[in-house]
Amino acid sequence: MLTGILHHTPLWVWTLLAGLIALGLAQTVPRRMAPARATGVPIAMAVVSLGGVVSVFSPQPLALLGWGIGVAVALALANAIGAWQGIRWLEADRSLMVPGSWVPLALILCLFVTRFAVSVALAVSPGVLWHGSVAMPIGFIYGAVSGIFLSRSLVTWSLTRQALPGSVPG
């Protein structure tokens, strides 16, 4: 069955996976980033994750509840452990220095694998995903990934606001 699934997966899915891996690998090296990009990219990933929940689970509101709980839990944990604490403001070029991290790659792959598994489940047995006992945990996974991404946005936004009072990142 697994072989059949892999063989029937469109080529664009594997191309997308390669692009996402490249994006994640680029995050493993330290880099300077404009505030808008450092804040916007994680927000975009969270929107993609929410879109995944809404597009598949619109008939099941427990998935959205799971997403919201996942975001809240991940934000709280990321703040508690000081995730993204290595991000620094560089006054000289008014940008952010973001240290390399494997976390974005892991999060991107988590989103991809979750979305792939949901798509396969929809193809094999569409009704199973609409049960709250399935939809809520999947929503939670999407939300937790979003929360970790959003925690980075909050850190970069906060650093930019401290360095440039009265402005918005960008």
Rg (CA), the chain: 18
Percent of the chain with pLDDT over 90: 56
How far apart (Å, rounded) are the C-alpha atoms in residues 149 and 96? 16
Instruction: Output DSSP code: residue 28.
Output: T
Residue 145 dihedral angles phi and psi, to the nearest 5°: -60, -45
- Interval 26-55: pLDDT, tens: 999 999 999 988 888 888 888 988 988 988
- Check if the beta carbon of residue 76 is closer than 8 Å to that of residue 146: no
Provide the token pair at 12: 């664009």
Provide the token pair at 84: 């993204």
- Interval 61-74: pLDDT, tens: 899 999 999 999 99
Tell whether the model's pLDDT for residue 170 goes beyond 80: no
pTM: 0.86
DSSP letters for 98-124 = E---SHHHHHHHHHHHHHHHHHHHHHH
Please give the helix or strand (H or E) that residue 38 lies within, else none: helix 35-57
